[in-house]
Amino acid sequence: MFSKVLIANRGEIALRVVRACKELGLKTVGVFSDPDANLLHLRFVDQKVALGGNSAVETYLNIPKIVRACEITGADAVHPGYGFLAENATFAEELEKRGIAFIGPGPDVLRKMKNKLQAKRLMHEAGVPVIPGSLEPVKTFADAHDIAREIGYPLLLKACLGGGGRGIRVIASEDDLKKSFDSARREAQVAFGSEELYIEKLIDRARHIEVQILADRFGNVIHVGERECSLQRRRQKILEEAPATGLSPTLRAKILDAAVRAAKALGYATCGTFEFLVTPEGNFYFMELNARIQVEHPVTEEISGVDLVREQIRLAAGEELAFRQEDIILRGHAIEMRINAEDPEKRFAPSPGRIVQFEIPRGPGIRVDSHCYSGYTVPPHYDSLIAKLIVWDMSREFAIRRSREALRSFFVEGIATTIPFHLRILSHPDFLEGNLHTRFVEEVWQEGVKGGDAQR
């Protein structure tokens, strides 16, 4: 096991990792930017290192600074959290060269999965269903045109090195393809350092289902159930559930099995999530692997009783899985609502600033993961997430009821938040019926605009 873990992140996930490390008896190091000098997790770490600077590029994305912080403090492991350097193969390599453990998969796996097309090919070779489209980079418009004629419009033109919802264009027609192909290549080169593109069929009104995987370095792989992640805005999730509602037992078993097979084919180790698109007809396709802890991991923890962050650290230290598949028993239903500093009335524009009052809901089945407090100033430099409200109950119906009451007891004054919009979602007839798809959030927001009230 490690002796000292540096947390190369900020916000609620940094606090979550500190707690897991403390439970394992590990010393911790926090790093911080200038605006983050008063972050909550820094009160609990054993050592702190100022990175100097404001932007993510100057600080949490700055590999030399973070490596130097490890050397100064004697940290023998780094937990990257999510975002920032969590899936950066170069960072993992730099740590490996210095004998510092990266709490995640190895650089080889990270490199394979960074290239979305390469990842798709690997899954195809492993017998995992993939979205119809190209399995090689599309280099010319003529090639793109041929593939488009084969799979049909609408389709997606994607950057091979894209990610996080970026580097994707929706193409509705041949004319769209003509107009977009060359500019998409140029944009991919600027944004990701590679002009390579690939094409996929656009699957409309699909569901986004992901499977939580735990794997050790001895070839043992288990799943910890699936999550419903269809509620997204600009391809970024805002509400997640576990388990996914409305999946037949047969379809659920196929998706879970595909994720385990995929992890084994990759030789994957530690904690990861395999994402799938599920069509209204019941077909499913691999979308991508998130080789890190997910923002939405708490819903899985609530229904399984498994501390995923603690297990991630154990597995990265080379320990064996503490569970067999038959040990994983899922119970009840959990919902996570991402509380963002955004204004739904202004198309979810960021709402940084000073929080005058921050009062969280409490009670049975209610969990809040947050780094915020009354008097905290939300900086404009980073992600807008200020809290995750996680609610558990024995059934989805009662989890929804409990979620609504918890939201009504969540007071954040001084900035705009997405709390009112979550209340709107949780009262929507289609949400209550489980009629979910990846365009659901945009449609609910548009309904509010047409009704003259995007918040109620």
Give 274-287 pLDDT, tens digit per residue: 999 999 999 999 99
pLDDT of the residue at 456: 40
Task: Report pLDDT for 449.
Answer: 59
Contacts of 294 (CB under 8 A, 6+ apart): 82, 210, 212, 273
What is the per-residue pLDDT for 455?
41
For residue 10, indicate whether it is catalytic. no
E-strand ranges in 331-437 read: 333-340, 342-343, 349-350, 353-354, 357-359, 366-370, 377-378, 385-393, 411-413
Residue 296: per-residue pLDDT? 98
Which residue stretches of the chain have pLDDT < 70?
Answer: 163-165, 449-456
Model pTM above 0.95: no
Cβ neighbors of 323 (< 8 A, separation 6 or more) are: 214, 222, 306
Predicted local distance difference test score (pLDDT) of residue 113: 87
Q: Note the pLDDT of residue 234.
A: 82
Cα–Cα distance measured from residue 49 to residue 65, given in angstroms and rounded to the nearest whole number: 10
Please pick, among 233, 292, 367, 402, the residue that the annotation labels catalytic.
292
Q: Which two tokens stand for residue 252?
A: 């659920």
Helix or strand or coil: residue 236?
Answer: strand
Q: Give the per-residue pLDDT at 452.
A: 53
Give the tens place of pLDDT for each residue, 341-361.
999 989 899 999 999 999 999
Q: Which domains does the chain have, with CATH numbers?
A: 4-103 (3.40.50.20), 132-201 (3.30.1490.20), 207-450 (3.30.470.20)
Q: Which of 16, 14, 18, 13 is nearest to 4 (CA)?
A: 18
The stretches of 100-215 forming alpha helices (DSSP H) are 107-114, 116-125, 141-151, 174-192
